[in-house]
Structures are given as C-alpha cells and as structure tokens.
C-alpha cells in the first residue's frame, strides 16, 4: 500500500529564531535554508517578513535560492504583514503565506481585545489578501490548544472558503496532553476532510511537543511543524529529528506514513544550527545530543560488542553520524585529509571554497595543536556566511593596564586602504568597538555580546556573537571566530557592520521592527 506523506514544515528560521540568543544573520539563514533543503523538508518557514528589514532580506534571498522546498513567510492577519510576506517570497519556485490570529478566549479578550466575529473577519480578509499573492495559504488558529472546538470549526470553515488550504492548530503554550491533542485533531480533520490539510505546531513547555505531534499524526494531521534541535520560544518546539526518527524507527506503528526527509542529513543539520546559534543541544538530547550514542556502563558496552541491537535502536549512520571517524587534524594534515574530513562532515564545497577553508585551517593549525570536527565546522561555516567584506580587521593592539584606562588601537582595511585609530573605553571590548566606530564613522550600539568556546582546551577557538544597532536602526548579528577572544570580538563587530551596510537600502525601505 502506498504510504501517506507527512509534510515536514520546518520553522527553525522563524519560531526557532525566537529562542533567546538564537538570532542569525542573513548569510547564516541562507546557509541553513540550503541545508534544510538538502535534509528534504517540505516547507521552510524562512522568517516573518514584516518583523524587521533583516527578516525581509533573508526571506527574499532564501526564496531566490531554494528550489525543492516551499518557502514560507509568517504574517499576522494584517494587510501590511501579508503584503510584506507576499513580496519577500515573490521569487520562490514554490511559495506559501502563513497567516495567523489568536482564537482562544483569553487571547481574543486580553491580547486582541476583539470579539470572535471580528477575529473571523480579520482572518478571512488576511487569507483573501494572501491569495492575491500566492495559491498556497496556511492559516493558524493561534492558541488552538486552548480554543473552543466549535469556534475552531467556524473559523476554519470561513478561512477555507476564503482560500486557505492548510489549517494549523498550534498548542502555542505547550499545555495539552497527547490524548487531548489527538481528540482535537481527530475532530478537526474529520470535519475538514477533503477541504484542507490539518497541521500541528506543538510547543514543549511540558516536554510533550514530540509526543503530541505523533499523536496528532495518528489522528489525522498530515503536516507537522517543528524545529531542528527543538529550538523555539521558551521551552522550544517539537524537535524535527525526534519526530522523523520516531516515525522511521517505529515504522511498525506508523506503517501507513512516510516523510521526504533524508535522515542522513539530520546530524549535519543539527551541528550547523548549533554552530551558528551557539546553542548546543543538551548532551542527553535524543538523536543529536553528544551522548545519544555513547555507552558508558560496562554491561552496556559488553552487550554492544556482542550485538549492537542489544542497546541501540538507531544506527548512528542513519542520522549521518560517523562514529568510526576519530581523525583529529593538526598542522601536519594535508589538503587531502582536510578535504576528506569536509566531505565526512557533510560540507559540499567547490574547489575554490575548499582552498579558502584550507588556508584558514592552516593558519589555525599553526596556533592550535589539535583541530576537532567542531573547529572545522565553525571555520567553514564562518567562512561561508560572511557578508561582503567592506571593512576588514587587519590588526588589533590592546593597552589595558589593570589600574589604567582600557584602550585599543585597531587597523582596518577598506578598498585596499589601511586606516588606523585608537580609543579608550569603559572596558577593553568597549575600547575596541569605539576605535572601530572612529575609523568607520558608524555609531554602533551594542545590544548583546556572547562568547562561546568551540571545542575544548586552553587553545580553544572563541566564537563571539554580537548584536549591534548602527545609527539607531534595528540590530544586526555578527559572528567572529579566533583563538584570541578580542580579535574574535572585533571581527564579530565588523561582521555586523558589513551585514548592515550590505542591506542598507532595505533598511531605508523597511525601517520598522515588529515584536511578535
Ligand atoms: O506558537 C504559535 O502559535 C506560533 C504561531 C504563530 C503559528 O508560532
Ligand atoms: Zn510557535
């Protein structure tokens, strides 16, 4: 019997990005979208176009690049949002607008301050307007988990009539238990049968996001919304890798269903997201945690040696994890070993990109004794996600006497010309950033600063993330990677400025930032 496909709707770039500290810049989002396409997700929710110029820019670029997945933008049920979404995805081969409004009594009364009738009118208007941009419109009943089922039916009838083909029922606050989600989905999918696809979007506040999604599939949902590594608002969303592997490993139960996911791309995708966001999955996280395939106890190790199936229900290679490759690179490793490693880590680079990455690898190998997989992932990802380098840090000198005033001298290259200047600051990083501001003439306001070591040891690479607002405009993310934390910080700051300048036109067109 032909299996039914469960559509995988990935919202790592939208709901995932709403995780505190998970912001990504345009180049990083493009890289992630390309990997999600390789993974085989059906729909990529690339962002929320009206949220900020940065979101719009990223969605627009992803729409131009992705070919095999549908590219989607979120939009509140407001004309301006729907228009921004429609414009951002205009060039996509397959496109979808995902519009939503809250349907629970508590959200309608206190958040929206609207009567149910008005909510239906707004939803219908949004869907009708969205259909003027695209054929594929998804409508979400925000907080469906706490909404009245009669009202869910009424609003679904209205939006389906207006042209929505997917009805999403989010458990926005992660409140529901599996049997309750199952009952809601069963009733709604029977009610809308043949008229729309029922989708679920389960948050993980009670740790039930994945269980709720699986129960929904059993009861008629044919689309699940999820994120890599379970990123998302608060406790996150249902994790894509857990849903997909549960469907695969328990195909005896889910025998009628399949997905388009190439599970061998799960691990590379998870590592890419962790490298870019700096948010590591917890070590004991199912499927992709560092310990997910580690067998510590003697009894387990003994069993594994006799027959792997004693303690292993998933083969690491099924998710693209090569447990046999323990090769650590160092300064004597040649280009061939490096290239081989890139292939094993899931990077598909042309010769020129391999050469550039190899150059950076050699510089690092001179200063760092052992280079681990995560170092290489960070190095290559950093190289691939750089904005056009309008400004480039050449060197940095710090003069920080513990009793004195922190000061820094920075040399920057622009169009082949080197400029040097110095500044004092409240602290060393402040002095570095102020010196950069003096040279470039842009006033940066640092909104967030984060430093993470990439691998272990005293010589670990520092991965610095900054969030900077230039000239009072919406903040931009920048990343810098170096053994020297201060140099990594300077590079992150310049990276943010380069991203800002490369989308300066967009900022003028769309200067407002919206908070969801
Ligand atoms: O959790 C939620 O309700 C959402 C909607 C916008 C789909 O993220
Ligand atoms: Zn959500």
254-297 tens-digit pLDDT: 999 999 999 999 999 999 999 988 899 999 999 999 999 887 66
Structure-model confidence comparison of residues 312 and 406, the more confident one = 406
Read off the tokens for 504: 């300066």
pLDDT at 106: 98
Q: Is 393 helix (H, G, I), strand (E, B) or coil?
A: strand
Q: How remote is the CA of residue 37 from the centroid of ligand 1, in Å?
A: 22
Q: How remote is the CA of residue 142 from the centroid of ligand 2, in Å?
A: 8
Q: How remote is the CA of residue 342 from the centroid of ligand 2, in Å?
A: 34
pLDDT at 181: 98
Rounded (10°) CA dihedral 480, 483, 487, 489 = 40
| Structural domain contains residue 516 | no
Q: Is the separation of the CB atoms in 431 and 446 below 8 Å?
A: no
Which ligand is located closest to the Cα atom of residue 227? 2
Question: Across the strands, what pairs with 420?
Answer: 411
Same domain, 406 and 302: no
Q: How remote is the CA of residue 232 from the centroid of ligand 2, in Å?
A: 7
Same domain, 88 and 44: yes
Pairing relation of β-strands 70-76 and 7-10? unpaired
Among 10, 74, 515, residue to substitute to test ligand 1 (most atoms within 8 Å of Cβ)? 74
User: 505 pLDDT exceeds 70?
Assistant: no
Same domain, 263 and 229: yes
Q: How remote is the CA of residue 443 from the centroid of ligand 1, in Å?
A: 35
| Structural domain contains residue 289 | no
Which ligand is located closest to the Cα atom of residue 145? 1
Same domain, 128 and 257: yes
Which ligand is located closest to the Cα atom of residue 142? 1
Residue ranges making up the domain that contains 345: 335-384
Domain CATH number, residue 497: 3.30.160.270
pLDDT at 308: 82
Q: How remote is the CA of residue 18 from the centroid of ligand 2, in Å?
A: 9
| Structural domain contains residue 221 | yes
- Rounded CA separation 204/176 (Å): 10
Read off the tokens for 374: 């995560």
Q: How remote is the CA of residue 172 from the centroid of ligand 2, in Å?
A: 6
- Rounded CA separation 162/139 (Å): 10
Helices (H), 209-334: 209-218, 240-249, 266-277, 298-306
Nearest Cα to Cα of residue 167 among 157, 181, 179, 176: 157
DSSP state of 203: B
DSSP state of 467: E
| Structural domain contains residue 234 | yes
Nearest Cα to Cα of residue 237 among 275, 199, 272: 199
**313-366 pLDDT tens trace:** 999 999 999 877 666 788 888 999 899 888 888 787 888 889 989 998 999 999
Which ligand is located closest to the Cα atom of residue 233? 2
| Structural domain contains residue 328 | no
**137-193 pLDDT tens trace:** 999 999 999 999 999 999 999 999 999 999 999 999 999 999 999 999 999 999 999
Same domain, 443 and 364: no
pLDDT at 400: 64
Same domain, 242 and 308: no
Which atom of ligand 1 lies closest to the CA of 15? 8
Which ligand is located closest to the Cα atom of residue 75? 1
Which atom of ligand 1 lies closest to the CA of 516? 6
Same domain, 223 and 83: yes
DSSP state of 247: H
Q: Is the separation of the CB atoms in 425 and 433 below 8 Å?
A: yes
Mean pLDDT throughout 2-9?
96
Q: How remote is the CA of residue 14 from the centroid of ligand 1, in Å?
A: 10
Percent of the chain with pLDDT over 90: 73
Mean pLDDT throughout 192-201?
98
User: 513 pLDDT exceeds 60?
Assistant: no
Q: Indicate which residue's Cα is closest to atom 1 of ligand 1.
A: 172
Among 48, 50, 170, residue to substitute to test ligand 1 (most atoms within 8 Å of Cβ)? 170
Same domain, 311 and 430: no
Which atom of ligand 1 lies closest to the CA of 74? 6
Among 49, 72, 142, residue to substitute to test ligand 1 (most atoms within 8 Å of Cβ)? 142
- Rounded CA separation 175/508 (Å): 41
pLDDT at 510: 47
Q: Indicate which residue's Cα is closest to atom 2 of ligand 1.
A: 172
Q: How many CB atoms are closer than 10 A to CB 125?
A: 16
Same domain, 255 and 127: yes
pLDDT at 53: 87
Same domain, 213 and 231: yes
Same domain, 271 and 374: no
- Rounded CA separation 456/276 (Å): 18
- Rounded CA separation 26/28 (Å): 5
User: 514 pLDDT exceeds 50?
Assistant: no
Residue 71, C-beta contacts closer than 8 angstroms, at least 6 positions apart? 33, 43, 44, 46, 59, 62, 63, 89, 92, 94, 95, 96
The total domain count for the chain is 4
pLDDT at 162: 98
Which of the four pLDDT bands, split at 50, 70 and 90, describes residue 515?
very low
Nearest Cα to Cα of residue 29 among 514, 463, 381: 381
| Structural domain contains residue 427 | yes
Read off the tokens for 406: 């922190």
**209-250 pLDDT tens trace:** 999 999 999 999 999 999 999 999 999 999 999 999 999 999
Residue 425, C-beta contacts closer than 8 angstroms, at least 6 positions apart? 406, 407, 408, 431, 432, 433, 434
pLDDT at 200: 98
Q: Is the separation of the CB atoms in 449 and 462 below 8 Å?
A: no
Residue 60, C-beta contacts closer than 8 angstroms, at least 6 positions apart? 87, 88, 89, 90, 91
pLDDT at 346: 78
Q: Indicate which residue's Cα is closest to atom 5 of ligand 1.
A: 142
Which ligand is located closest to the Cα atom of residue 141? 1
Same domain, 202 and 257: yes
Average model confidence (pLDDT) for the chain?
A: 92
Mean pLDDT throughout 108-123?
98
Q: Is 168 helix (H, G, I), strand (E, B) or coil?
A: strand
Among 146, 168, 176, 201, residue to substitute to test ligand 1 (most atoms within 8 Å of Cβ)? 201
Residue 433, C-beta contacts closer than 8 angstroms, at least 6 positions apart? 425, 444, 446, 489, 490, 493
Nearest Cα to Cα of residue 438 among 411, 473, 466, 399: 411
Residue 369, C-beta contacts closer than 8 angstroms, at least 6 positions apart? 330, 457, 459
User: 9 pLDDT exceeds 80?
Assistant: yes
Q: How remote is the CA of residue 170 from the centroid of ligand 1, in Å?
A: 6
| Structural domain contains residue 232 | yes
Q: How remote is the CA of residue 14 from the centroid of ligand 2, in Å?
A: 9
| Residues framing ligand 1 (Cβ under 6 A) | 15, 100, 140, 142, 170, 172, 201, 203
Helices (H), 423-474: 428-440
Which of the four pLDDT bands, split at 50, 70 and 90, describes residue 511?
very low
- Rounded CA separation 27/31 (Å): 6
Structure-model confidence comparison of residues 201 and 503, the more confident one = 201
Q: How remote is the CA of residue 57 from the centroid of ligand 2, in Å?
A: 22
User: 26 pLDDT exceeds 80?
Assistant: yes
Q: Is the separation of the CB atoms in 233 and 19 below 8 Å?
A: yes
């Amino acid at each position: 019997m032909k299996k039914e496909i469960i559509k995988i709707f990935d919202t790592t770039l939208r709901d995932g990005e709403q995780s505190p500290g998970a912001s990504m810049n345009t180049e990083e989002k493009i890289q992630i979208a390309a990997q999600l396409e390789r993974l085989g997700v059906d729909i990529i929710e690339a962002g929320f176009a009206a949220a900020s110029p940065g979101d719009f820019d990223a969605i627009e670029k992803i729409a131009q690049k992705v070919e095999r997945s549908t590219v989607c933008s979120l939009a509140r049920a407001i004309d301006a949002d729907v228009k921004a979404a429609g414009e951002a995805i205009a060039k996509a081969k397959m496109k979808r607008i995902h519009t939503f409004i809250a349907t629970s009594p508590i959200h309608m009364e206190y958040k929206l301050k609207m009567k149910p009738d008005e909510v239906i009118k707004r939803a219908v208007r949004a869907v009708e307007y969205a259909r003027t941009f695209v054929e594929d419109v998804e409508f979400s009943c925000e907080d469906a988990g706490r909404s009245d089922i009669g009202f869910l039916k009424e609003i679904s009838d209205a939006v389906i009539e207006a042209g929505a083909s997917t009805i999403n029922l989010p458990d926005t606050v992660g409140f529901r238990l599996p049997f309750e989600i199952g009952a809601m989905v069963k009733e709604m999918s029977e009610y809308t049968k043949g008229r729309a696809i029922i989708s679920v979007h389960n948050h993980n506040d009670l740790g039930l996001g994945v269980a709720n999604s699986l129960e929904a599939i059993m009861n008629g949902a044919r689309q699940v919304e999820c994120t890599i590594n379970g990123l998302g608002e608060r406790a996150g969303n249902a994790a894509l890798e857990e849903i997909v592997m549960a469907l695969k490993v328990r195909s005896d139960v889910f025998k009628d269903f399949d997905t388009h996911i190439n599970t061998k791309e799960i691990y590379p995708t998870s590592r890419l997201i962790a490298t870019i966001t700096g948010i590591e999955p917890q070590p004991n996280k199912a499927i992709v945690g560092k310990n997910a395939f580690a067998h510590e106890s003697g009894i387990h190790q003994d069993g594994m040696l006799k027959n792997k199936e004693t303690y292993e229900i998933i083969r690491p290679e099924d998710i693209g994890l090569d447990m046999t490759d323990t090769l650590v690179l160092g300064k004597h490793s040649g280009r061939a070993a490096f290239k081989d490693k890139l292939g094993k880590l899931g990077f598909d680079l042309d010769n020129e990109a391999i050469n550039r990455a190899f150059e950076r690898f050699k510089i690092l190998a001179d200063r760092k004794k052992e280079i681990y997989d995560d170092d290489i992932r960070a190095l290559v990802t950093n190289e691939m996600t750089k904005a056009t380098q309008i400004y480039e840090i050449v060197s940095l000198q710090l003069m920080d006497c513990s009793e004195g005033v922190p000061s820094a001298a920075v040399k920057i290259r622009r169009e082949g010309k080197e400029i040097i200047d110095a500044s004092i600051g409240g602290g060393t990083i402040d002095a570095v950033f102020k010196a950069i501001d003096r040279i470039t003439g842009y006033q940066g306001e640092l909104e967030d600063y984060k430093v993470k070591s990439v691998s272990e040891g005293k010589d670990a690479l520092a991965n610095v993330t900054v969030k900077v607002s230039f000239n009072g405009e919406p903040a931009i993310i920048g990343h810098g990677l170096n053994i020297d934390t201060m140099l990594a910080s300077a590079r992150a700051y310049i990276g943010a400025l380069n991203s800002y300048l490369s989308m300066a036109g967009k900022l003028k067109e769309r200067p407002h930032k919206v908070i969801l």
